[in-house]
Structure 1
Amino acid sequence: MGIRVTEVSVPAFGVQWQTTPGDKATAGRVIGYLEDRRVLFGWRHRGDEMHCVRSALEIRRVLTEQLDLAQPGKDLSRSLRAMRAACRKFVEAAGPDASNFSRRAANTNAFALPSATYVPPWVSI
């Protein structure tokens, strides 16, 4: 658990603070939130493009919120920022109205970023 100074008063010196959740609590909240995000799990189908873009935008919002509220330590902060950057990259790759994903060939993973070659374990090649 951390402490965030919220007010310092002078001349009768005084300090007010809030406690902030520790890295373990923050990481637990983030993992719990991510467990249920549609964009992260399962094979996507045609028509899911905008739902997944919205999901990535919502993930970015939650990660930013956790970075601001919890003030995580250096390692956790770096990880949360990297996840937020990955969401931004996904949204940018989607293009307007997810049009870049919906133009992919019907037999490919429409949501794969150009460098990704993920194939779910239940799909045989």
Structure 2
Amino acid sequence: MHDFQVSVAQSPPFTLITLSGELDVLTVPALREQVAPLLARPATRILFDLERLRFIDSAGMRVLIDACVRNPPKDGDGAVCGMSPQMRHLFSLLGLSSRLTMYPTRADALRRPAAEPPGTAHMN
């Protein structure tokens, strides 16, 4: 059962994308549809809130990576927050924790909104 949901809201300085359910090869198109127009805008800072995301496969991770680490880099590239310990471990094993800005919670991300270099981790 794929109960994936995506919502987009403005939470300055970020465009907040909240994901819930399972992000996999079958649900990735729904996320790409929401993210593509945001990436076309200059200096859009995206924050993916993954607190309610139960599962992510390699296709889903690719969308997050592409959105957060752009080529060429744009001012204030994206960040992720609310990852489960298992998801943080997976991102670390894949070497992604050094490429993505990660925050423990949405509140932490909003308290530290200044642009930070990729790889900044705030997982105290």
Q: TM-score, normalised by structure 1?
A: 0.30
Q: Which is richer in strand?
A: 2
Tell which structure's C-alpha radius of gyration is larger. 1
Q: Which is richer in helix?
A: 1
Q: TM-score, normalised by structure 2?
A: 0.31
